[in-house]
Amino acid sequence: MFFSLKDKKKLFRDLATFQGTRIKNKYKDWSFTILLIKPETIGNIGSIARLMKNFGFKKLILINPLVKKERIHGHEAQGYAMHGKDVLFSSKILEFKDPDSYILNLKNFLIKFDLIIGTTASGTRYTNLRRLAIFPHDLKFPTSRHPLKIAIMFGRESRGLTNTEIGLADIILRIPTSNDYPALNLSHACGIILYEIFKKIHVLEIGRGEKPVLLATREDREKLYSFIQDVTELLKIRTHKKGNVLFAFKNMMERAFISKKEASLMFGFFSKIKKIITRLNPYD
């Protein structure tokens, strides 16, 4: 058998102690707040709440939204939020009504954050020094002994963040897109950036839930390769091709990162082939 009693006991231990995708220890106490500056549509507000739920972000603040307050928590927004309704309902609305002091109020509000990340669709031409941006996958968080409070600012659907608002950010992110049409929908852009940050602050595992995917160990794979080699011998494949056949299987399986279950199924498959060949050629 491919899995001995000892192997099966180890498998059960691995399943019992398996940890799924989880936040890295150094980021556990960090705080991430999504700031929507003057959002214009209910659909994007609800969709962003849903995306935040997908990627484990909880704090949403709407600054001077251009839609009525009652609509933000209404049925339409809830429809877009789906299972992110809790994020939507716990979102806060800040209104800086005096246009003359708007930027000052925004600046004073942002003082509470240790790092402010702005976003832009511009920045392919480096003539505007305020919009010198990096790509989301190049973002690196600073090393800190203390938990950081991070704000991620997204601008209006129609024209994004203004130069003055961008000037309040410490880092600017731009998502690489086609030059023909670089502007993304607000919720789409938010989803991409949250996904990139999610990858940076989490330990990612293939398996999740009650039935995690456990990858085959090197020992598992070597057992399988040994059995494939036995089958090639029985098939009387020409000597100069035997090695290539084995390497073809090895290359394919190593690139695929096969699971224990897949390795076990393939072992059973080749085991049956071996039995059939042995029965057809009893004197070999």
Q: Could you tell me the CATH number of the domain that includes residue 195?
A: 3.40.1280.10
Pairwise CA distance, residues 91 & 193, whole Å: 19
**In 110-212, beta strands by DSSP E:** 115-119, 149-154, 171-173, 202-203
Report whether pLDDT(178) > 60.
yes
pLDDT of residue 152: 98
The pLDDT of residue 2 is above 60: no
Both 197 and 246 in a single domain? no
Q: Is 149 or 283 the better-scoring residue by pLDDT?
A: 149
**pLDDT (average), residues 191-196:** 97
End of a domain among 170, 203, 236? 203
Count of structural domains, the chain: 2
List, for residues 196-206, the tens digit of each pLDDT value: 999 999 988 76
Q: Which domain holds residue 139?
A: 22-203
Average of per-residue pLDDT values in the chain: 86
Q: Between the CA of residue 279 and those of 230, 246, 272, what are the distances in Å? A: 15, 23, 11
User: pLDDT at residue 241 above 70?
Assistant: yes
Query: What band does 1 get if pLDDT is binned at 50, 70 and 90?
Result: very low
Averaged pLDDT, 106-130: 82
Whether residue 137 is found in the same domain as residue 217: no
> Rounded distance, CA 242 to CA 176, Å?
46
- Helix %, strand %, coil % of the chain (to 5): 50, 15, 40
Q: Which range is most confident: 78-87, 248-257, 268-277?
A: 78-87
Domain CATH code at residue 273: 1.10.8
pLDDT digits (tens, 9 = 90+) for 7-52: 666 666 666 666 667 889 999 999 999 999 999 999 999 999 999 9
Q: Which of 35-44, 93-102, 237-246 has the highest mean pLDDT?
A: 35-44
Average pLDDT over residues 162-188: 91
Q: Convert 184-218 to b/e letters by CB count within 10 Å (16 or more is b).
A: bebbebbbbbbebbbeebbeeeebeeeeeebebee
The answer on 240 and 114 residing in a single domain is no
pLDDT computed for residue 210 by the predictor: 62
Q: Are residues 33 and 11 in the same domain?
A: no
Do 36 and 136 have their domain in common?
yes
Distance in angstroms (rounded) separating the CA atoms of residues 230 and 141? 51
- The pLDDT score that the predictor gives to residue 12 is 64
Q: What would the pLDDT profile of 116-127 be if each residue is shown by its tens digit?
A: 999 998 755 555
Q: Are residues 71 and 176 in the same domain?
A: yes
